[in-house]
Structure 1
Amino acid sequence: MSFLWAIIAGLIIGLLAKLILPGRQPIPLWLTVILGIIGAVAGNALATAFGVRDTGGFDWIRHLLQIAVAAVLIAAATPVFAGRRR
């Protein structure tokens, strides 16, 4: 069941990351999900390193770190994938 939640979280985080990036990112949905999952895991690691992973209430900082990492990954993958499609 945690695998299913990782895919759902990766989809949400990846789509939010694509929303904050300017312009259009011509990458497929499956790559968005994978980069969202990687961003979520790396964002959790950063939040743990900064000591903000488990806070009282909603973990805004952790989720912002997850989305930021996913956005960086999507921004880095966009030119690579766009170059392959030509």
Structure 2
Amino acid sequence: MGILSWIVFGLIAGAIAKFILPGRDPGGIIVTILIGIVGGFLGGWIGSQVSGTGISGFNLMSFVWAIVGSLILLLIYRLIFHRSHA
């Protein structure tokens, strides 16, 4: 699957990750979009490592991996942000 596909998956996955983990995050929608895009790439890499084959195409598993990557990054982002201001 191409980079453009992971960016689109990431945009949607970032919004879903924010829905799953609601809360006040600095940066608003822009940070959520960026976390989603990078999370899509992270999810694609994790999915490739777990399955042993590349993640390809617009399918349910690719989308799930993009959401997983976005959730991981959102949690890391919140941990770093809360520690720096605690």
- TM superposition score normalised by structure 1: 0.67
CA 1:27/1:39 → structure 2, altered by over 3 Å: closer, same or farther? same
Q: Note if contact 2:41-2:69 (Cα within 8 Å) is conserved in structure 1.
A: no
Moved over 6 A (4+): none
Unpaired runs of 5+ residues, structure 1, are none
1:81 partner SS: helix
Distance 2:83 2:46 in 1: 30
* CA distance, structure 2, for counterparts of residue 61 and residue 19 of structure 1: 19
Percentage of identical aligned residues: 22
Alignment of 1:57-76 (within 5 A): 58-76=58-76
Count of aligned pairs: 80
Q: Residue type of the partner of 1:26? A: D
Aligned to 2:13: 13
Give the Å deviation of 1:34.
Answer: 1.4
Partner of residue 26, structure 1: 25
Q: Structure 2 length normalisation: TM-score? A: 0.67
User: Which residue is 1:54 aligned to?
Assistant: 56
